[in-house]
Amino acid sequence: MSEPVLSVRDLRVWYGTARGPVRAVDGVSFDLMPGETLGLVGESGCGKSTLGRGLMGLLPDGAAIDGEVRYEDRDLLTLSPKRQRDIRGPDIAMIFQEPMTRLDPLMRIEDHFSETLKTHEPDLSAKEIRKRSLEALGGMGIPPTRFRQYPHEFSGGMRQRIMIALALVLRPRVVIADEPTTALDVLVEAQILRILADLRRNFDTALLLITHNLGIVAEACDRVAVMYAGKIVEEGRSRDVFREPDHPYTQALLGSIISLSTTGLRYIPGAPPDLSEPPPGCRFHPRCVDAMAVCASQEPIEERPAPGRRVSCWLYGPTYEIPEGGTEPLERQEIAVADEA
């Protein structure tokens, strides 16, 4: 097996607020292999976008980050701001949500591409810059006639395609895509997924795809990581997780998908917790139909129920010891974790 192109270990991101630190990412670990697509899914507010920005070193003032993000045997979190800027673009690129806030309204599209390429490849001639830029835009279905227009002259979907072209024009080894198909119709969405697949196939690019769309994950991702309240609660090959999800949260997410055979709507009661004061134990236990007493008092231990799978849930944890003389159902009695010895 090849080595991971990106290896993340125990990554933590906090935001400072008047109410105390908000633990938006809390102990996340994963590997991303060359040419692989890893889907990162979960409800809004679970820390997915913060994770993506943390990997890029693009956190706002007042945020703190800890852990390890290794790329080519370098820990990105220990690099100087200048070295981090040098890596962004040609090595690791990010496709952001909300393209109108990322494109300078006073710059033509041509100028955006010229600035990006000149910054990282200063030896390129004006002719080469134009050629590379038009190739990237053409791959997104945007004609050369619109190269000198301003961002406000494009629809929201076309601005999103421009953002994707800007991220891909430097042919990075790793792409972090934060909801790259937001506001796009299904035909353009399919086109962009094909382009990302071609990028993987032709350049061995690794892709971290952050999305709410489980259909895209099932179609385009090799593996999927399910994130809840700042933590990854389940990870595995997409086909395995979709066929037989282990974590109750993953089961609930998949159960809420609407299909042609849907006869009634299903949803997850409640909402993700306030990350400034997350609940004790398993953070999903207040909403979990399978919650036990241990879930409310102790964080679950990560288990590997099958090759290539990992899950953090007491349903797959160490053996439980029921207190002597206990007669109440498991869900309502105090449960002690057996000594591993």
Look at residue 185 and tell me if it is in a domain. yes
Q: What is the CATH number of the domain that holds 219?
A: 3.40.50.300
User: How many domains, in total, are found in the chain?
Assistant: 2
Tokens of 179: 């909801």
Q: Which domain holds residue 15?
A: 1-91+172-280
Same domain, 117 and 249: no
Cα radius of gyration (the chain): 22
Residues 6 or more apart from 308 whose CB is under 8 A from it? 223, 236, 237, 240
**Dihedral (C-alpha) 72, 76, 78, 83: value to the nearest 10 degrees?**
90
210, 48 in Cβ contact below 8 A? yes
> Which residue, 132, 164, 196, sits at the end of a domain?
164
Instruction: Determine the Cα–Cα distance for residues 25 and 31; give it in Å rounded to an integer.
Output: 16
The pLDDT assigned to 236 comes to 96
Q: Which of 57, 311, 22 is nearest to 176 (CA)?
A: 57
Give the DSSP letter of residue 324: T
Q: What is the mean pLDDT of each run of 10 residues along the chain (341 residues)?
A: 89 91 94 95 93 92 93 92 90 83 90 94 94 91 93 87 89 90 76 80 89 88 96 96 95 88 84 92 94 92 91 78 41 38 33
Tokens of 313: 């849930």
Same domain, 206 and 270: yes
56-106 pLDDT, tens digit each: 999 988 899 999 999 988 999 999 989 998 999 899 999 887 766 788 999
Look at residue 128 and tell me if it is in a domain. yes
What backbone torsions phi and psi does residue 316 show, to the nearest 5 degrees? -115, 15
